């Protein structure tokens, strides 16, 4: 099957923003499924959340704006479905199920535009990862994604995705920053 990925030009459910390859973004740091991923940019950082639904991203937007003095973005510079900013250093927008927070020293809107332009449509939400028994003992992830985070268990050092003792939770992030979760039965 050939999957065609393309840039997204309208609100809706998107795959997300590629965690690598967007000009100006540093290496991604993956937080939690409910908080998303983050990356440094010149003069600051961005946070990106991709939710299963638009409502999830809208909730994230509320939290991102909490406590900040932001104004609704003028229609002339509106990105996505809703956007807020302080006129220079902060900009927050949501396009469908993708929400983005930009905090830089100045020029937040330019960074936000770069990220908005990078939103892609693509494959369906990733399936929950599987932990498979290893021949030599322990467990190994069936799907590695681009990053794996976990709690509990005992990692085999320098063998990411491999444990000598079963972890409590595992999150696998895909190339668009979407999390797939596994919990110890």
Partner 1 sequence: MLWLLAACTTEPVFVKDGVRTTEVEDEPEWAVSLAGPDAADALLAPVLATSVESAEGDAVRVEVLDASGAVVATLADGTGLVDEVSWDLGLTPAPVGAYTQRAVLLADGQEVAVAERPVWVVRVGVTEGTFTGDRIPLLWHDAGGEGQYWSDRGDGASFSLSAIDDGATATPFPPLWDDRDSPPEDLTSATLPVAYPWNSRPTLVFTAAGDTAGAPLTLGIEGWTCVDQDDGKRACTADAPLAESVGIHETPLALTWSTPSGEMARQSLPVRLYLMLGPPGFDRPEVPYQPWVAVVDDVLGAIQGVEPTEAAVTAAIVEHVYRDLSLAYDTRSGASAYVQYDWNSYNDATLDLSSFLSRRRGSIVNCTDCAGLVQAFSNMVGAPLDYSIILSNFDLNYIQAIGYDEYTHCPFGNRGCGFSYHAVTTPDDNLTIFDATLALDGDSDPGSSPHTELLVQSVDGDEYLDRLVMSGNPRYDYTQQGNIR
CA distance 145 to 177: 10
Which region among 5-13, 56-64, 74-82, 133-141 touches partner 1 (by CB under 8 A)? 56-64
- Under the criterion CB under 8 A, does residue 40 sit at the interface with partner 1? yes
| Smallest separation, CB 71 to partner 1 (Å) | 12
Q: Is 87 in the site for partner 1 (CB under 8 A)?
A: no
Beta carbon of residue 40, minimum distance to partner 1 (angstroms, whole number): 6
Question: What is the smallest separation between the CB atom of 148 and partner 1, expressed in angstroms?
Answer: 8
Q: Smaller CB distance to partner 1: residue 52 or 123?
A: 52
CB of 152 to partner 1, least distance (A): 4
Q: Is 86 in the site for partner 1 (CB under 8 A)?
A: yes
Q: Scan residues 136-155 and list those touching partner 1 (CB under 8 A).
A: 147-155
String of DSSP letters for the chain: -PPPPEE--SSS---B--SS-STT---EEE--TTT-EEEEETTEEEEEEE-SSHHHHHHHHHHHHTT---EEPPGGG--BSEEEE-SSSEEEEEETTEEEEEEESS-HHHHHHHHHHT-EE-SPPPPPP-EEE-TTSSEEES---SEEEEESSEE-TT-TTEEEE--SEEEEE-TTS-EEEEE--
Task: Enumerate binding residues for partner 1 (CB under 8 A).
Answer: 26, 29-32, 34-36, 38, 40, 44-45, 47, 56, 59-60, 62-63, 66-69, 86, 89-90, 103, 147-155, 157-160, 167-168
């Amino acid at each position: 099957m050939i999957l065609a990925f393309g840039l997204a030009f309208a609100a809706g459910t998107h795959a997300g923003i590629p965690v690598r390859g967007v000009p100006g973004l540093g290496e991604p740091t993956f937080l939690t499924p409910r908080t998303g991923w983050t990356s440094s940019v010149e003069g600051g950082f961005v946070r990106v959340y991709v939710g299963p639904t638009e409502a999830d991203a809208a909730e994230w937007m509320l939290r991102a704006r909490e406590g900040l003095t932001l104004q609704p973005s003028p229609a002339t510079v509106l990105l996505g479905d809703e956007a807020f900013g302080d006129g220079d250093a902060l900009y927050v927008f949501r396009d469908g199920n993708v929400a983005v927070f930009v905090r830089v020293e100045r020029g937040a809107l330019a960074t936000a535009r770069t990220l908005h332009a990078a939103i892609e449509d693509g494959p369906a939400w990733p399936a929950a990862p599987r932990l498979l028994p290893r021949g030599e003992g322990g467990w190994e992830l069936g799907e590695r994604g681009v990053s794996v985070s976990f709690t509990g268990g005992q990692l085999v050092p320098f063998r990411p995705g491999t444990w000598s003792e079963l972890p409590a939770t595992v999150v696998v992030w895909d190339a668009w920053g979407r999390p797939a979760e596994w919990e110890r039965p």
